Amino acid sequence: MKRNDASYIIESNRFCKEAGMNPNEVSRPKHFLSKLGLAEKRKSYSEILSVVRFFSNKLLDSLRGTPILVVVSDANGYLLEIEGDETIKETIKQFGIRPGSLFTLEDTGTNVISLALQQKHPISIIGDQHYHTFLHEIACYGTGFHYTDENNLLGSVSIMMPIQCQNPLFLTMLTQAVDSIERELLLRKQNKQLNIMNQIMLSRTRNGIVITDENGITTEFNDFAQQISNNSRKSVIGRNICESNITGTYFKEVLEKRKIFTDEELQFIDVKGKLVVCLFDAQPIYEDGKMIGAFGQFRDISDRHFLQEKYNYLAYHDDLTNLPNRRYIQKEIEAIIEEIKAGNKRTLALLYIDLDRFKIINDNFSHSYGDILLKKVSQRLCSCLGENDVLARMGGDEFIFLLKDFDDPEYVKKKAEEVQNLFHESFYVGSDELHTTASIGMAIYPEYPISMEKLMIYADNAMYQAKAQGKNRYSIYTSELLEEMTYEYRLEADLRRALENDEFVLHYQPQIHHQTGEVVGLEALIRWQHPTLGLLPPGKFIKLAEENGLITQIGKWVINEACSQNKKWQDAGMEPIKVSVNLSTQQFLSKDLVTFMKDSLERTALDPQYLVVEITEYMAMEYDYSLKVLKQLKAIGIGISIDDFGTGYSSLNYLKNFPIDYIKIDKTFVDEIMIDHNNTFIIKAIITLAHNLQMQVIAEGVETKEQLDFLIKQKCDFIQGYLFSKPLPAIEIEEKYLLQRK
């Protein structure tokens, strides 16, 4: 036992020791429910288990890829369900852990189920906190769950995993899942009580009510039911409800199979020929456990239904042109792609249409003129819709044709030509003659699967290519699409071999002191020396590395290489200098980050003060985790820099509490210093804020003397950018800068 172990662990392990348990022997459960007993227990818990199963499955889905087990017990400690990793399931079977086994402190020693049931708060038992050594490689988290209105203990939910996967965040996730379970159980309990109240207060409700006896003979039909259905009470009472062509089939199921229906939507035409839309509930009525009839309830939602239809229409249609909108067309494309993936033979193509010089018309004739023109354009475009075509307005002056189920790809080209011909004639708005043309990008869904987003990007890129070629034309993306996909597949395969083949190199960009002009730091930036494509910048492969999971390995290589190179420079007698490295989101969130940083510094013998890590604002959104990790890195002696500041989720709370040394002003702000006054105000504010918080500021992407003069005037501490130097190989940095600092 450790001095800082929780009291419940200390007490439990003391009990095991005093009971004479051998910690090196496997403690197996000694009591088990019979198959019939387990079935009856699970039946009595069926509703509770359905709720627990729903949220535990969500928990398992969110942790997919992590070897984890979710275990549910009743209030006595009998295991009712075990879900999750099959390997762990097989392992625990050897110890007698299976559904129906009873977990008690007396039989199984210190265990998460017994302690979770005993404690009034979530618990964790990690590794050697277990009394028995066979559990030392397991991390467990658990908590009880209750009917919260009575604080009535119902059971426990626990998660188990190999100790190397343990993370305090799992306890938080489990607590949130159990909170959701308890809320849902309480809601269901309250709903049951509400159903009972409904049976008592039938005559006082504003809903249409129908009550029958056990044979289906109608015994009650209230005033509101008469109003909804236009049937008189006299004509309905005494008749068998199962004969009703509206609700008969539902009541038959209720009376014969004890089924319950909730919120069934019914539509019928009343005697005036008006559509009536109702929500219908039905359930058996019991007295002393015996069914004595059936209860049905109508709620007239006609007004809401028609309003919802209107909202649904507006949600998927453009309010200016009444054409389908972006949301509608994306949904359509996704549906067709899913059918293609399922093996159905479908064809699909997009024409992305952008009006040429529309901004000039808006600026010279007013936006109201522009709106009228867009309506006229949409009407003209509708005139060439084929049988299977869909036209949508994407926003602004952009439209899209969705072409589907065509027999020949030539149809796509002919449709593009047909659209262009529509713009030969002028448009008239009032007495003014307006003329515009269209640039069209074409993309045909290929023989291999791609996403809806990619298909739209391909069409959009083709449209921009048409504009770049002089407007009033169309451009097709099919050949470029195939080439790009082939290139990407090949690049991914090469990337997997790049680490093994030592193909990555680091270039370093100097950071210059704004007053002295001296180099005060270097940012390490990765390059890929591809064997056939030459030197590739990070923009060509970093996103690919993030998608295929290689980014953490590459990030570790960058840290090792930067530390090693910096130490080599120092050993060669050059004046020490800080080198900063960028951390990816995946690397920052990895559990071994701090340990790896320590190991790298020890392995390379680099003093931590000469290493700076750069994170983005987005990474800092997980506040508690980020604060903990950054404090640990700071304790080692590593510098902390916030990169791309101002482009993410800025929070003064982060700046105040995080141990930050540097703030880097993003290049996008620097680019427009001289043309956008808003950017100048933002930069001034960032510098002032950072200095007041005792932090230093680095401006990156500085390319002109005007930008430099402005930043110097605002007392920006350090400058980085092409004005001084592009990123250079280590040998050039050494010759051009470091040797000068001796």
Q: What is the pLDDT of residues 409-420, one digit of tens each?
A: 889 999 999 999
For residue 625, pLDDT beyond 90: no
- Segment 241-264, tens digit of pLDDT: 888 877 888 989 989 999 999 888
Q: Which of 433, 436, 438 is nearest to 474 (CA)?
A: 438
- Domain 501-739 CATH superfamily: EAL domain (3.20.20.450)
Mean pLDDT of 618-645: 86
For 323, residues 6+ apart whose C-beta sits below 8 A from its C-beta are: 317, 378, 382, 391, 392, 393, 399
Cα torsion for 126, 130, 133, 135, to the nearest 10°?
-60
* Integer Rg of the chain from CA: 35
Pairing of strands 504-513, 728-729: antiparallel
Q: Please indicate whether the domains covering 7-192 and 206-305 agree at the CATH topology level.
A: yes
Residue pLDDT, tens place only, 330-351: 999 999 999 999 889 899 999 9
- pLDDT tens across 686-702, in order? 899 889 889 999 999 99
206-305 adopts what CATH topology? Beta-Lactamase (3.30.450)
Question: Can you give the residue ranges of every domain in the chain?
Answer: 7-192, 206-305, 319-477, 501-739
Asked which of 20-29, 141-150, 268-277 is least confident by mean pLDDT, the reply is 268-277
Model confidence band, residue 503 (pLDDT cutoffs 50, 70, 90): very high
Over the stretch 172-231, which tens digit does the pLDDT of each residue have?
A: 888 888 898 888 888 888 777 665 555 455 545 568 888 889 998 988 888 777 777 777
- What CA–CA distance (Å, rounded) separates 162 from 66? 9
Q: Report, in this order, helix, strand and coil percent for the chain, each rounded to 5.
A: 45, 25, 30
Q: At 606, phi and psi to the nearest 5?
A: -85, 135
Q: How far apart are CA 242 and CA 216, in angstroms?
A: 7
pLDDT digits (tens, 9 = 90+) for 347-403: 999 999 999 878 777 777 777 888 899 999 999 999 998 888 999 998 889 999 999
Q: Is the confidence at residue 67, as pLDDT, over 60?
A: yes
What pLDDT sits at residue 599?
Answer: 95
Angle at 154 between CA 149 and CA 156, to 5 degrees: 120
Q: Would you state the pLDDT for residue 309? A: 63
pLDDT value at 313 more than 70: no
Q: Which of 404, 402, 386, 385 is nearest to 394 (CA)?
A: 402
List pLDDT tens digits, range 566-582: 999 999 999 999 999 99
Distance in angstroms (rounded) separating the CA atoms of residues 351 and 462: 9
Q: According to the model, what pLDDT value does residue 279 have?
A: 86
Whether the CA torsion 602, 604, 609, 615 is positive or negative: it is negative
CATH 3.30.450.40 fits 7-192, yes or no: yes
Q: How far is CA 289 from the centre of its chain?
A: 47
Cβ atoms of 645 and 658 within 8 Å: the answer is: no
Average the pLDDT over 138-147 and give the result.
92
* Longest distance between any two alpha carbons in the chain, whole Å: 107
Q: Are strands 398-404 and 432-434 parallel, antiparallel or unpaired?
A: unpaired
d(CA 575, CA 566): 10
- Cα angle at 343 between 391 and 393, to 5 degrees? 10
- Residue 241 and residue 210 in contact, taking contact as beta carbons nearer than 8 Å: yes
If phi > 0 it is left, if psi is from -120 to 50 it is alpha, else beta; for residue 718 that is beta
CA distance 464 to 458: 10
E-state strands within 329-431: 348-355, 390-395, 398-404, 427-429
The amino acid at 496: R
In a 3-state reduction of DSSP, which class is residue 539?
Answer: helix
Superfamily of domain 319-477: Reverse transcriptase/Diguanylate cyclase domain (3.30.70.270)
Helix ranges, 590-692 (H) = 593-604, 623-636, 652-657, 667-671, 677-692
649, 617 Cβ separation under 8 angstroms: yes
User: Distance (Å, rounded) from C-alpha 381 to C-alpha 391?
Assistant: 8
Give per-residue pLDDT as tens, 651-679: 566 677 889 999 998 888 888 887 777 77
Closest to 423 measured CA to CA, from 411, 440, 409: 440
Residue 481 has pLDDT above 50, yes or no: no
DSSP strand E in 188-324: where? Answer: 208-213, 218-221, 261-269, 275-287, 290-300
> Residue 293: beta bridge partners?
213, 285
Average pLDDT over residues 117-140: 92
Q: What angle is formed at CA 674 by the lines to CA 668 and CA 676, rounded to 5 degrees?
A: 65
Q: What is the mean pLDDT of residues 10-25?
A: 94
Would you place residue 483 in the very low, low, confident or very high pLDDT band (cuts 50, 70, 90)? low
Q: What is the mean pLDDT of residues 441-446?
A: 89
pLDDT band at 432 (very low <50, low <70, confident <90, very high): confident
pLDDT, averaged across the chain: 86
pLDDT reading at 485 higher than 70: no
How far, in Å, are 8, 602, 659 from residue 636 at the CA level? 34, 11, 12
Q: Residue 350: which region, alpha, beta or left (left: phi > 0; alpha: psi -120 to 50)?
A: beta
Q: How far apart are the first and last CA of the chain?
A: 55
DSSP secondary-structure letter at 574?
Answer: P
**Range 609-627 average pLDDT:** 83
Q: What percent of the chain has pLDDT over 90?
A: 40
pLDDT digits (tens, 9 = 90+) for 700-733: 999 999 999 999 998 999 999 999 999 999 999 9
Q: Determine the pLDDT at residue 382.
A: 92
